[in-house]
A and B are shown apart, each in its own frame.
Chain A
Amino acid sequence: AQSVTQPDIHITVSEGASLELRCNYSYGATPYLFWYVQSPGQGLQLLLKYFSGDTLVQGIKGFEAEFKRSQSSFNLRKPSVHWSDAAEYFCAVGAMDSSYKLIFGSGTRLLVRP
């Protein structure tokens, strides 16, 4: 069965520091991959997505992610974190069945130190 693993439950970084959030998926073929962000009290906002082609994907708010097939990873990065980036981040993979659902990781909560 497909699954998504986000190994870090919490990450704390200083404002202005770089950020990398890890995501690993289990699936043999090239999946559809997504990163969503959930700010406190808010719904999920799509940050970026990967379907095919260039393995480095640019998203909104200065985020990018790199698809690495050999590592089954789709890590999210940002070169300089802002206090407003504090939120919970979810990696997801599109289910390769008839539901077209998304399979989510358990999320990583990002805390930003002033």
Chain B
Amino acid sequence: DADVTQTPRNRITKTGKRIMLECSQTKGHDRMYWYRQDPGLGLRLIYYSFDVKDINKGEISDGYSVSRQAQAKFSLSLESAIPNQTALYFCATSDAETGTDTQYFGPGTRLTVL
């Protein structure tokens, strides 16, 4: 079984709809991240969390919110989706104890906002 899973894998929605992307991990890592990938731009950080009570904004957090329901679960919400949020979204985890920033990624969620 995959260590980092994301649901759904693909989603098409309409402008103005609320949508939630979910991430679960079995690696036992404390740190979890949400990135967005756009063609030609690499990956950019949306939000990150070091534990259930520690949520932080990344460089492109506007229009997004997150929830860390448990150590293993980190959800990303788009309160009112807009077309320029069409992208590939990745969840990642890392282990605070190693102190090496190595991150492990889920398979991604492809989101299309019409």
Determine if chain A interacts with chain B: yes
Question: Is B42's CB under 8 angstroms from A100's CB?
Answer: no
User: With a CB–CB cut-off of 8 A, which chain A residues contact B102?
Assistant: 32, 34, 46, 49
Question: Is A51's CB under 8 angstroms from B100's CB?
Answer: yes
Question: Is A104's CB under 8 angstroms from B43's CB?
Answer: yes
User: A32-B100, A49-B102, A99-B48 in contact; A107/B42 too (CB < 8 A)?
Assistant: yes
User: With a CB–CB cut-off of 8 A, which chain B residues contact A75?
Assistant: none
Chain A residues near B (Cβ < 8 Å)? 4, 9, 32, 34, 36, 42-46, 49, 51, 90, 94-95, 99-102, 104-107
Cβ-closest chain B residue relative to A44: B105
- Alpha-carbon gap, A101 to B31, bound state (A): 10
User: With a CB–CB cut-off of 8 A, which chain A residues contact B108?
Assistant: 42-43
Give the total number of A-B pairs whose CB atoms are below 8 A apart.
Answer: 58
User: With a CB–CB cut-off of 8 A, which chain B residues contact A107?
Assistant: 40, 42
Cβ-closest chain B residue relative to A104: B42
Question: Is A43's CB under 8 angstroms from B107's CB?
Answer: yes
User: A43-B108, A46-B104 in contact; A106/B42 too (CB < 8 A)?
Assistant: yes
Tell me whether B24 is interfacial, beta carbon within 8 Å: no
User: With a CB–CB cut-off of 8 A, which chain A residues contact B58?
Assistant: 99, 101
Identify which of A9, A36, A101 contacts B48 (C-beta below 8 A): A101
Cβ-closest chain A residue relative to B9: A41
User: With a CB–CB cut-off of 8 A, which chain A residues contact B56?
Assistant: 99
User: With a CB–CB cut-off of 8 A, which chain A residues contact B103?
Assistant: 46, 102
User: With a CB–CB cut-off of 8 A, which chain A residues contact B104?
Assistant: 46
Tell me whether B94 is interfacial, beta carbon within 8 Å: yes
User: With a CB–CB cut-off of 8 A, which chain B residues contact A46?
Assistant: 102-104
